[in-house]
Amino acid sequence: MSDGFTLTLDDRQVQAALTALAGRLDHLRPALEDIGRALQNHTEDAFAAEASPFGGSWPDLSPVTKARRAKLGKWPGPMLQMSAGRLAASIFYDATDERVVLGAPKVYAATHQFGRPDNRMYNTPRGNPAPIPPRPFLPVNAAGELPPAVQSEILSLLADYLARA
């Protein structure tokens, strides 16, 4: 006779939870939609605050730009929104089961996000230097990094999504 014993674990609930979790991992679109909306909201906040999602206000417009906008009746006014906010209004996200894309389809979007130090003034005989400083509006930098607050929000969204499995 043995002093040992056998214990049989009824793990049906654990198995069901793992199966549900695995199913959610195959269908991430709802979570990625939430992340896309969050990224778009942070972008809209940057335009409203005229500040980088990483912190710090955007550099002021140059006196030349302010004067040109004033002649058009568009100064004072919000930065990067001279054309009825077309850049801000163009921000979009697209989510699938595998990824979320945040973008701005305007040809000048990258110039404003990253700056353009080699910019030249148009309509001047020699194309005088007129560098454009970066005014980041997307909550991601050139290295693909997110601001800490945005990263925390995304991780929280994912944790909530997985907790509902």
Residues 6+ apart with CB under 8 A from 131: 115, 116, 117, 118, 119
Average pLDDT over residues 145-152: 93
3-state secondary structure (DSSP) of residue 26: helix
In a domain, 37, yes or no: yes
The C-alpha torsion from 109 through 112 and 118 to 121, rounded to 10°, is 90
**Angstrom distances, CA of residue 50 to CA of 78, 84, 162:** 8, 15, 35
In a domain, 7, yes or no: no
pLDDT digits (tens, 9 = 90+) for 5-58: 666 666 677 677 767 777 777 788 999 999 999 999 999 999 999 999 999 999
pTM for this model (two decimals): 0.80
pLDDT digits (tens, 9 = 90+) for 20-35: 777 777 788 999 999 9
Amino acid at 149: A
Share of the chain above pLDDT 70, in %: 87
In a domain, 3, yes or no: no
What tokens does 110 get? Answer: 């990258």
In a domain, 116, yes or no: yes
